[in-house]
């Protein structure tokens, strides 16, 4: 499935634009462009460690967004996650194969390979492989959610990418404004009074979701279901913290609401915390405000710093 290649896509009008590079000069201990697999140059990440201590440090896996087709591990999307360094977290910011390079499930294979690599190299970098969280926004939230819901799903794991003896499950998930059911997105946006403009529909042939799957999503409902993180939810999912803006005109707020309901039904309401930011749009600055980052880190502390 991941051998299908999409053409290098033109920018999608509803997609977030590139972010400026992150300023990480303040981080004294960092290891950049470390390969976690060797199939593609995209399979690299940047590792940031707290200034002091030998660990073992719980790990935040930072996953960038960008409509599945752009942005980078080293752009400013990593800055909220780096706040975790002050609380004793290591941060591993991953790149993964984008839709112009490989279609679904390649990006999921990559994220899981990165988690396995973290565990295999725990002693070298001072990671605590028993305490790993995934945190991302938009497409990054989608991947973080996949890591949280699909542990043990063989078709979403490519063990040939390395460290097959290591598990790829995570112990907590933070997902900001992430998509879930691609076929519902246009309908949900219309229900919210934010219908997509002509040519920007998620169901279109050049939408980020269609490019990710390598086919127009309306033609492949079974593949859309396979790409939906909700498909894999079990009672064993880790704790989730979901945040979404009610005025998101790119990824409908119903994506997070529906995900929260599915998680609660399967695993109990204590496994999911949903917070809606009234009037906030996609990638709204309020998500990265200091008070909100504190809220996220408090959530991680409750589940990973016990």
- Give the CATH number of the domain where residue 92 resides: 3.40.50.1820
Q: What was the pLDDT predicted at 199?
A: 87
Note whether 102 and 72 are within 8 A (CB): no
Q: Rounded distance, CA 143 to CA 181, Å?
A: 13
pLDDT in tens, 230-273: 999 999 999 999 999 999 999 999 999 999 999 999 999 999 99
Domain hosting residue 48, numbered range: 29-304
pLDDT in tens, 280-303: 999 999 999 999 999 999 999 999
Q: What was the pLDDT predicted at 7?
A: 33
Q: What was the pLDDT predicted at 306?
A: 76
The verdict on residue 237 lying in a domain is yes
The verdict on residue 18 lying in a domain is no
Which SS3 state, helix, strand or coil, does residue 175 take? strand
Q: What was the pLDDT predicted at 101?
A: 97
CB atoms within 10 A of CB 177: 30
**Residue percentage of the chain with pLDDT more than 70:** 94
Q: Peptide bond before 306: cis, by omega within 30 degrees of 0?
A: no
pLDDT in tens, 104-126: 999 999 999 999 999 999 999 99
Q: Give 239-291 as a 3 state SS string.
A: CEEEEEECCCCCCCCHHHHHHHHHHHHHHCHHHEEEEEECCCCCCCHHHHCHH
pLDDT in tens, 194-241: 999 888 999 999 999 999 999 999 999 999 999 999 999 999 999 999
The verdict on residue 116 lying in a domain is yes
Q: What was the pLDDT predicted at 197?
A: 84
The tally of domains found in the chain comes to 1
Burial (0-12, 13-18, 19+ Cβ within 10 Å), 165: exposed
Please report the beta strands in the chain, taking only residues with DSSP state E, as ranges in sequence order: 29-35, 44-49, 57-63, 90-94, 127-137, 172-176, 240-245, 272-277
Q: What was the pLDDT predicted at 145?
A: 99
* pLDDT tops 70 at residue 185: yes
Backbone angles phi and psi of 77, in degrees to 5: -60, -20
Q: What was the pLDDT predicted at 5?
A: 28
Q: What was the pLDDT predicted at 135?
A: 99
The verdict on residue 209 lying in a domain is yes
Which SS3 state, helix, strand or coil, does residue 132 take? strand
CA separation, residue 218 to residues 183, 227, 251 (Å): 7, 13, 17
Q: What was the pLDDT predicted at 18?
A: 63
pLDDT in tens, 1-25: 333 323 333 233 333 446 789 999 9
The verdict on residue 24 lying in a domain is no
Region 164-175: mean pLDDT is 99
For 55-82, give the DSSP string. -PEEEEEEE--STTTS--TTBGGGHHHH
The verdict on residue 12 lying in a domain is no
* pLDDT tops 90 at residue 99: yes
The verdict on residue 110 lying in a domain is yes
pLDDT in tens, 28-68: 999 999 999 999 999 999 999 999 999 999 999 999 999 99
Local structure of residue 177 (DSSP, 8 states): S
Local structure of residue 215 (DSSP, 8 states): S
| pTM exceeding the 0.95 threshold for the entire prediction | no
Among left, alpha and beta (phi > 0; psi -120 to 50; other), residue 297 is alpha
Q: What was the pLDDT predicted at 2?
A: 33
Tell the residue number behind the tokens 């087709």, with chain if given. Answer: 69
Per-residue burial over 252-264, b = 16 or more CB atoms within 10 Å of its CB, e = otherwise: bbbbbbbbbebbb
Q: Two tokens at 132?
A: 């790993």
* pLDDT tops 60 at residue 158: yes
Q: What was the pLDDT predicted at 198?
A: 87
* pLDDT tops 60 at residue 172: yes
The verdict on residue 17 lying in a domain is no
């Amino acid at each position: 499935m991941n051998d299908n290649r999409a053409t290098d896509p033109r920018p999608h009008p509803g997609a977030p634009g590139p972010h400026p590079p992150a300023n990480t000069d303040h981080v004294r201990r960092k290891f950049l462009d470390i390969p976690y697999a060797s199939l593609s140059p995209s399979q690299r990440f940047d590792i940031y460690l707290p200034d002091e201590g030998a660990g073992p440090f719980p790990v935040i896996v930072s996953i960038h967004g960008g409509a599945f087709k752009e942005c980078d591990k080293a752009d400013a999307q990593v800055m909220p996650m780096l706040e975790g360094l002050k609380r004793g977290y290591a941060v591993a910011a991953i790149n993964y194969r984008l839709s112009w390079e490989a279609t679904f499930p390649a990006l999921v294979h990559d994220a899981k390979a990165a988690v396995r690599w973290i565990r295999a190299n725990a002693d070298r970098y001072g990671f605590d492989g028993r305490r790993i969280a995934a945190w991302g926004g938009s497409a990054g939230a989608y991947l973080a959610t996949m890591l949280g819901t699909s542990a043990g799903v063989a078709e979403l794991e490519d063990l040939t990418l390395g460290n097959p003896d290591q598990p790829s499950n995570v112990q907590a998930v933070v997902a900001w404004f992430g998509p879930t059911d691609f076929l519902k997105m246009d309908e949900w946006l219309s229900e919210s009074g934010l219908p997509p403009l002509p040519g920007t529909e998620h169901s279109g042939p050049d939408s980020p979701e269609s490019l990710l799957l390598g086919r127009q999503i309306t033609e492949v409902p079974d593949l859309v279901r396979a790409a939906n993180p909700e498909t894999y939810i079990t009672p064993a999912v880790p704790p989730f913290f979901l945040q979404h803006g009610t005025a998101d005109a790119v990824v409908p707020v119903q994506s997070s609401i529906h995900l929260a309901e599915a998680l609660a039904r399967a695993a109990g309401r204590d496994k999911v915390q949903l917070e809606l930011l009234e009037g906030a749009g996609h990638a709204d600055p309020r998500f990265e405000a200091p008070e909100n980052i504190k809220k996220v880190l408090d959530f991680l502390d409750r589940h990973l710093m016990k």
